[in-house]
Amino acid sequence: MPKAAWRPVYSSPPPKEPTLLKVLGVVDCLLFLLGCLLSFGAAFAFDAPGSENHVATWVFALTSFSLPVTCLVSMFLATVFVKNADYKIAQRILLLPLVIVLVFVINLAWMHYRYGDHF
């Protein structure tokens, strides 16, 4: 039996991660640190008498406490999807903390408009 000639096997290189995915990962890490600082301040959101009756105070406290958790969960899930080469889904998952930040900023603007400096 003749021996088969040795041929090098060429495989395609693994796909590279998109730059947007890396940028969103860095933004999520920074938002995690910011969320940790905000959650310390949100512990005092209900110090004023009657503040537990304002919806805006509840939204402020809940978004402050949920931002670090959302960042951690989204980074973990994005890592799982990147390992499976689903980069589009990973990018969408990394955008979830930005939705929390958007709700937080809109709520702060509404609190300032509605209550002035007395919230």
Check if the beta carbon of residue 81 is closer than 8 Å to that of residue 15. Answer: no
- Residue-wise pLDDT for 62-73, tens only, equals 999 999 999 999
Q: Domain for residue 108, yes or no?
A: yes
Q: Domain for residue 1, yes or no?
A: no
pTM of the predicted protein model: 0.75
Q: What residues make up the domain containing 83? A: 19-42+53-115
Number of domains in the chain: 1
CA distance 4 to 23: 48
- Residue-wise pLDDT for 52-62, tens only, equals 888 888 888 99
Q: Domain for residue 2, yes or no?
A: no
Q: Domain for residue 5, yes or no?
A: no
Burial 7-31 (b: 16+ CB within 10 A, else e): eeeeeeeeeeeeeebeebbebbeeb
Check if the beta carbon of residue 63 is closer than 8 Å to that of residue 104. Answer: yes
Q: Domain for residue 14, yes or no?
A: no
Burial class of residue 47 (count of CB atoms within 10 Å of its CB; 0-12, 13-18, 19+): exposed
The DSSP element (H or E) to which 74 belongs, if any, is: helix 55-83
- Residue-wise pLDDT for 25-56, tens only, equals 999 999 999 999 988 888 888 888 887 888 88
Q: Domain for residue 72, yes or no?
A: yes
- pLDDT of 119 strictly over 80: no
